[in-house]
Chain A
Amino acid sequence: MASDLELTPNSYITHHLTNLTTSVGEGPFWVLHVDTLVMSVILGILGMGSLWLVVRKATPGVPTKRQAFVELLIEFIDTQVKNTFHGNRHTFVAPAALTIFVWVLLLNTMDLLPIDIMAWVYENVFGIHNWRNVPTTDVNTTFALALSIWFLMIFFNLKVKGLGGWLFELFCTPFGKNPILWPLNLLFNVIEYVSKPLSHSLRLFGNIYAGEIIFLLLGMWAATGVAGSFFSAILGAGWAIFHILIVTLQAFIFMMLSVVYLSMAHESH
């Protein structure tokens, strides 16, 4: 912001919502959001790495406090998966759910860091002007996750039911086997397949993005004077506390939906 000599609400919000980009090829698609990628990879390594460090020395005897914590987390996830998914969950679905929950939770939690202090740190410590530190406010992240789940869904559909079984399901469910109903069934299923990743990703994105916008608006209010600073501090604290719930809840919902989609792919209607 130091470089923003003219500080208007517009420039303030634009500054906070601009990614650090780098071009990797021709055209508008071949652009990489460096901040999103770097933050999510760092957080992923942090999350999975710390789990790995604990789990590496896991003992069946009396567990250390850290191991007990990780066990709580894993058993929590495992219970959720067990209630939804009725196959051998340990080979893929449960660990995937753990990854999603931990990773998305960490990504969301970055939203709780005070935006302007972080912006100052990035500006003055790292010399980066535009740096968004919440990867889940980047629609690319949520779409990447949702589409990965979507492809896994199709993969498991093919793997469990075979191409024929899957096509049968596409054409003959949910309304019936009658050939007259085939187009209707197909239309219904296509809509379902399109809406799944959309709702899946946009729910997470919308919640976290909206949360960030609220923080930005409160930050702008703080710029109006002493009273504004006072109220924005109080409301910001309140919103942050409430946001702890949203952040966790959204990570949980995202994980649960992934598990539900994957188990639907494993089961015939």
Chain B
Amino acid sequence: MNINFTLISQAVAFSVFIWFTVKFVWPPLLRAIEERQKQIADGLAAGERGKKELELASHRSSEVLKEAKQRATEIITQAEKRAAEIVEEAKENAKIEGDRILVGAKAEIDHEVFAAKEALRRQIADLALAGATKILRREVDAKVHADLLASIEEELK
């Protein structure tokens, strides 16, 4: 328990060990730890950046979505309007066409009526002529009354 030379030898050993640690043990590990800290910090920063970008992208995509919805609504409205227009137009066309057909039919009918009347008149003329001819056959010379007959025929026609 007495103080002796051991003290000095221990102090020397102590200083050697401190020197060794200062020189060889502490710096490499500190370097490694600091390097890792930097890497982790970088990674975290990158993650943060990615998160921000994601946020931005989602914001943008929602905006785009909103716009698209708006456009779709517009298009639908337009289409509906157009459809109504088309229907209206078709109705108009149909009406015009119907009127046209009606007019045509009327004209045809008129024409038919006129033709029938004409035919009837002709037949009546023929009949009258034939009747007149039969009546006059005996007393009237065809040659003499030819111009009379022709005038009657003309009148009837």
Contacts and interface: CB of A to CB of B under 8 A. Distances in A.
Given A58-B31, A75-B33, A98-B25, A140 B6 contact: yes
A48 B21 contact: yes
Interface in A17-33: 24-25, 28-33
Interface stretch (B8-16, B68-76, B109-117): B8-16
Nearest to B1: A139
Contact of B20 (A28, A52, A141): A52
Interface of B: 1-11, 13-15, 17-18, 20-22, 24-33, 35-36, 39
Contacts of B22: 91-92, 95-96
**Chain B interface secondary structure, helix, strand, loop or mixed?**
helix
Contacts of B39: 60
Nearest to B14: A148
Interface in A133-153: 135, 138-141, 143-145, 147-148
Given A33-B4, A71-B29, A95 B10 contact: no
A85 interface: no
B95 to A, nearest CB: 85
Main secondary structure of the interface of A (DSSP, over half): helix
A143 B3 contact: yes
B11 A147 contact: yes
A59 to B, nearest CB: 6
A36 B10 contact: yes
Most buried by B among A24, A103, A140, A141: A140
Contact of B13 (A30, A44, A52, A60): A44
A29 B4 contact: yes
Contact of A140 (B3, B18, B25, B33): B3
A157 interface: no
Contacts of A29: 3-5
A60 B1 contact: no
